[in-house]
Amino acid sequence: MTTQSNKETVRRFYDSLNTGDVDGATRLLAPEYVDHGGPPGLPPGVPGFSALIAMTTGAFPDLHVEVHDVFGEGDRIAARLTVSGTHRGVFMGTIQPTGKHVVWDGIDVFRIKDGHIMERWNSRDILGLMRQLGVVGG
């Protein structure tokens, strides 16, 4: 696969998430998918990704990922993004809904093989998110 086709896989992944097509996003994950940045306590692989999306969209039903840049070389593709949503459900098991619209930045790095996402590493501004939700001061 070319770098360009790998970038298109990443864009389709986010497009699926933004349209609520979780099955479409999941179909882009390889059966042996590994998420290196998921929160603790989730099962590994595709089931963990599905649980992460269910937890996040349950807390932020209007969740949207704005992709600013997609770049990379070969099988490694990175995306710089901003995530936003309104906190309407319990988040991370204990954070009660606040009704606040929140915005946080992130970076994802993917390894793509044969049009499927094999691995994902991510970094999110979780501290900034927790401040916006009033969980921590700042």
* Residue 38, pLDDT score: 81
* Residue 1, pLDDT score: 78
CATH 3.40.50.720 given to domain 3-132: no
Distance (Å, rounded) from C-alpha 102 to C-alpha 87? 7
Q: What is the pLDDT of residues 28-42, one digit of tens each?
A: 999 999 999 888 889
Averaged over 121-137, what is the pLDDT? 96
**Which of these, 97, 100, 77, lies nearest to 8 by C-alpha position?**
77
User: What is the DSSP code string of the chain?
Assistant: --HHHHHHHHHHHHHHHHTT-HHHHHHTEEEEEEESSPPTTSPSHHHHHHHHHHHHHHH-TT-EEEEEEEEEETTEEEEEEEEEEE--S-BTTTB-----EEEEEEEEEEEEETTEEEEEEEEE-HHHHHHHTTSS--
**Which of these, 26, 27, 13, lies nearest to 67 by C-alpha position?**
13
Q: What is the pLDDT of residues 44-96, one digit of tens each?
A: 999 999 999 999 999 999 999 999 999 999 999 999 999 999 999 999 989 99
Whether the pLDDT of residue 137 is over 90: the answer is no
Whether the pLDDT of residue 138 is over 90: the answer is no
**Per-domain residue ranges of the chain:** 3-132
Q: What is the pTM of this model?
A: 0.92
